[in-house]
Amino acid sequence: MEPLLSFVLCFLALILLIISLLEQPHLFMATAAETNQLTIGSTMTSTQYLTSSSGIFVFGFCNIDPSNNSNQLLLAIWFNFGAPDSANKKVVWFARDLTSNRTVIATKQSVLKFAETGRVSLVDGQSELWSPSNPFGSALVLQDSGNLQLISKDGVPWESFSNPTDTLLPGQNMSNRPGAYLQSRNTDTDFSPGRFTLNLQDDGNIVLYMKEIDVPSDLGAPYWAAMTNGKKMAPTLFFNDSGNLYYTFINNNTEPVYLTTERPLNSFEMYYHYAALDPDGTIRVYVHQKNNTDSSLWDVFSQFPGDGCSRRTNFGLEGMCGPNAYCTIDKEERLDCECPYGYVFVDEQHKYKGCRPNFVPHTCNGKENSTEFMTMQVPYTSWSNQSTYKKFILTSTTTLEQCNSSCLEDCFCKAVLIDGSSCMFMGMLTAGKVTQDTSMTALIKIRANTSVPVPDRPPVPASVRSIWFYITIGIAFLLSASIIYILWQINISKMAKRNQPGLRIFTSKELKRATKNKKKELGKGSFGKVYQGKLSYLNPPHVAVKELIGSNEYSEKDFENEVRSIGQIHHCNLVRMIGYCKEGTDRKLVFEYMQGGTLANFIIRSKRPCWSCLSEAAIGIAKGLEYLHEGCNPKIIHCDIKPDNILFDDKHIPKITDFGIAKLLGDQKTQQTFTNTLAGTMPYIAPEWFGVGNVGSKVDVYSFGVVLLEMICCKRAKGKQPPPKDQDPRIMFCLREAESLIRSGRFEELVQGESEALADMESVKRFSHVAIWCLQDSSMRPRMRKVVQMLEGVVKVDPLPDSSMSSIFSPMHPTSSETNPSSSTVHIIQVE
């Protein structure tokens, strides 16, 4: 069957390739050889490109949205990860018509010409689409910096660095000159000019502007300013090689004023950087590891303004999100717009245009009764009161209920705002934003039988219909291949038990014999007991067998799927799963055996470990957690990070164990397990476990912070209360006391005078500050990727926040004497 399957799959791949080529005939055309310049008399077509000498940047024609219209192209510069024609491009510059302030849209027939006269222009047939503001030169060169320069014998008459779009690259600067401003895109995939601009004004001020919706004006209203207009000199904005965004006054030798968090000077050696004015009006600095070829993995290092929705909703009638919509912050920490219940977006692709009722509004024809309507609260929001047309002062005679009833009867009233003693009728809601700190109550008027229907499906474009023929062909071949594959699977299923490429399936009898009937117990935890075993046909033969408790509630299919998922996870800092057993209610997991013992034993041994051993181990543990949170699929929250779950191999490499086991027991069993065992691992439990709402990956960050403090102090944590008198104070410490030592700079007391640590107090301080950041409120804790970067010294550690923000000082955080674990509720586990 195997040769037949291989033949079918190869044949299917060939058919799909032919279909792809039929849809994209331009791929048959020859592309230009890799070069970094265009010279007089040459041309560049839509399938050709320039590549910088180092290969970092590409200049050519970029498909705006392959899924929408493949004949709309940008003339652009992008980071070159993998093939230059990769679909996932990070565009850093694109051609823009400064006169009309529009993005230049090319087609597959467009050509960039370098005429014999030395003039550069982009043409489509007989039409000229674009040319540089100073279009004459002798060569068009893409530099390693990403700067596209038109070079002549007299210098550089034009360059992309002097004509930015929405992005700044390292080494680029902006001053008050024509064309030198940043303007956001409309959306991430819509490159037309957006609502936000960054300008260096004639008066010397640096200002961020937001244009009001459908208001014809060049700039709009300012929502951030550097207030440099009183200096009587023009500032220059710099984005340097290390990824720092700052401004300074060149002629005055003043100190730079940093707009984003300062990065170490050597960070350019390990990271690519760029700064962009994003579609939500926020300037963000993005970083990407140079040794990572996945072009989608760009991390936000810093951003400004950092005030969320506040400044962008404090002016005008519309604010950030237009009428009847409110500004919120999404899971990517970007500003977004939402509609109240019963309302839908006016334009789903451009949410900032506001919301409209998804029901027939109250009319003033006198035929409708107030009972046909009701009001619903829009919680945790504040709104502008500028569109108030009627206002009541709440008194003993004019109550809130009467105010609400009056709005239901008033055909002009669309919403009610209650602020203090005032009840205001609104013709529409404006300048809304989500906020936890508001005294305002917003009630929006909807029909009593309102239900939000599923929006009508948009018509299918002709270009999409045209490919259904090819899809049908593909489906037919897929069905044929699937039938053959199923038959092949049935044929080999009997042999799968011993020949699975990733995981082995063991029998209960086999593992009983391997562990000598559970003779040597290695340990036990929340999920079950672990026994040492030996399987002579494995290399190495020693294994650790974990017997799961209570897993009979998990269905066989779900258990097997989750185990296979965990078995595919491979990282040098994670204990590798070898196989599993699933017979009846018997559930066992088989892992590689770790000879080096636990981190718990390592840090409290009689002789304090060397600082380099501890610091290297801490970075390894952090990298293992980073991989679980962001590198594997599906992503995993460990939920039980503690020194007992961190093991060392024979080369003293730390490895995290028990990851993903929470998923094997299901949400209900996980809730029960953690509820019943919190007292045993109390110092490592984040306050979120005792709150309301979802628990995310930041609970692991908190636990890591406690573990990191234990590694620095070489003592075990004891919560926020001092250890009992009967405990050996040499191996116990209080989290609150440790934080106090760190904040007062008494690091030598943390490391107990260990000579290597004393000689490297800079890293001791850095690791200690990272630990404190991990113990903050969940909203302030860094992600594990940033934790790794800070520990390695790639990213500068921010100054410590006020101690009141620390979770170990939070009244929500439990101790064994303050909280009854059995009354706590653990909610759905959710990867952030």
Residues recognised as catalytic? 640
Sequence-distant (6+) residues with CB within 8 A of 447 are: 342, 359, 360, 372, 373, 374
Using alpha carbons, select from 283, 287, 247, 284 the residue that is nearest to residue 264.
287
Relative orientation angle of helices 761-774 and 611-626, to the nearest 10 degrees: 30
Which helix (H) or strand (E) element contains residue 424?
Answer: strand 422-426
C-alpha span between 89 and 188 (Å, rounded):
12
- CB–CB of 775/804 below 8 Å? no
- CB–CB of 185/344 below 8 Å? no
651 annotated ligand binder: no
Sequence-distant (6+) residues with CB within 8 A of 434 are: 309, 326, 327, 328, 329, 338, 380, 381
Using alpha carbons, select from 79, 49, 60, 50 the residue that is nearest to residue 141.
50
C-alpha span between 309 and 152 (Å, rounded):
47
C-alpha span between 96 and 102 (Å, rounded):
6
**Tell me, what amino acid is at 679?**
A
Question: Is the preceding peptide bond at 305 cis, omega within 30 degrees of 0?
Answer: yes
**Tell me, what amino acid is at 384?**
S
- CB–CB of 159/171 below 8 Å? no
Using alpha carbons, select from 367, 340, 528, 531 the residue that is nearest to residue 434.
340
**Tokens of residue 66, six digits:** 């392959």
Relative orientation angle of helices 468-492 and 2-23, to the nearest 10 degrees: 170
Strand partners, 288: 272
Using alpha carbons, select from 795, 785, 786 the residue that is nearest to residue 629.
785
CA 706 to chain centroid, in Å, comes to 24
Binding residues: 546
Binding residues for ATP: 546
